[in-house]
Chain A
């Protein structure tokens, strides 16, 4: 039974029996894995603090060829969302983890997705505005999945869009304002400019890129439509985030 050591991002955990947990984690080099962390729910467990969602860990696990579940040996936290001093962003942690979980198939290595996830955890710890970070993260996850339509050229007239346009995931993609009908989500010039600027910087650079509330809402709505259309379901976490922001 070989022991593997790797960097990983914890995506979620499930209770198993009295004291154990099943852990879903995204490794840097072997894709998404599921494993058992024995005794993880005990107060003085060696896993304590290392199995929270979106924690970047140095992790070791044993794997048998015939078994779906690996056995975790240790998970030392390298970066944790619990380090955040701005607690409002904590609500987004599970949303990011769910999006990563849904977009990473089991045992399909995707180092870029891992690096994106780890960079987002660093950005959370650096207190980058979380709404901007969420739009950035959605944009990149969807791009890495190959489902983000090109936003520079109108899919109908082929011309460069200067003043914004409409994104309609069910109807081919992005159209400029002149060509678009009333369907789809309106994306203002400011929303497009944010995506263009944000695409060229690491997540920690988002603090320097402005995004008004209105343009942020447009992007959120467009991304939610793209995610729902791609995954054929709405993420649980996005519904809860909406409920939380409505009540607070």
Chain B
């Protein structure tokens, strides 16, 4: 196969994808080779479209194929309620609940002193501008439940509270369907701290 240059090139390109090793890349390359021309062109078009048509929303920084994005222009959503997340794929996770009907703001990461990611590297300024404009009544901080996400949430809360909005943090605790016996101490502690009356 080493002599068939186009196949080698395709395999090399596929190897660059996450969790695709050389064997998988070869298998995919041969699969693509066997497909009808139209299917391969559809795949190429889809990949090209992702790069050509998807950009970041100028309001919330979520990925979108139109600007402002679907969530920012949907009149049925509550513009007074905002959920702040680290990455665009977190929006999908929250949307799956079908329960949150507010708007989003995507930070594009979390504060990470170890990785050299500071406030200037995140969409903090635009968040403050949106909240400062006055329409937002509550900001839900839905950053990840780890040291970086917690540090980011606390940093944002310090900046947001003086703007006169309610600032809340998503709860942390044991996953549904799991067993308390196997929950670690920190998770249990957070679950007990975040308990609510029934």
> Which A residues are closer than 8 A to B by beta carbons?
12, 17-18, 43-44, 48-50, 52-54, 76-77, 80-83, 87-88, 90-91, 93-95, 97-98, 236-241, 243-244, 247-248
Contact = CB atoms under 8 A, between A and B. Distances in A.
A82 B150 contact: yes
Q: Label chain B's interface by main secondary structure.
A: helix
Contacts of B118: 239-240, 243-244
B175 A43 contact: yes
B175 A91 contact: no
B75 interface: no
A91 B18 contact: no
Q: Which of A49, A81, A88 has the most CB of B within 10 A?
A: A49
Given A83-B186, A90-B147, A93-B147, A248 B155 contact: yes
Contacts of A48: 184, 187
Contacts of A243: 118-120
A248 B153 CA distance: 12
A87 B114 contact: no
A18 B148 contact: no
A94 B155 CA distance: 15
B19 interface: yes
How many interface residues does chain B have, given as a range?
A: 20 to 34
A247 B124 CA distance: 10
A236 B119 contact: no
**Residue among B147, B155, B185 with most chain A CB within 10 A:** B147
Contacts of A81: 147
Contacts of A244: 111, 118-119, 155
Given A82-B186, A237-B113, A240-B113, A17 B19 contact: yes
Contact of A49 (B114, B117, B150, B184): B184
Nearest to B185: A77
A52 B147 contact: yes
Given A81-B147, A93-B151, A94-B147, A240 B175 contact: no
Given A43-B175, A248-B159, A77 B114 contact: no
B159 A91 contact: no
Given A82-B147, A87-B151, A236 B189 contact: no
Q: Which of B120, B153, B186 has the largest count of A CB atoms less than 10 A from its CB? A: B186
B114 A12 contact: yes
Contacts of A17: 18-19
Contacts of B111: 91, 240, 244
A80 B184 CA distance: 11
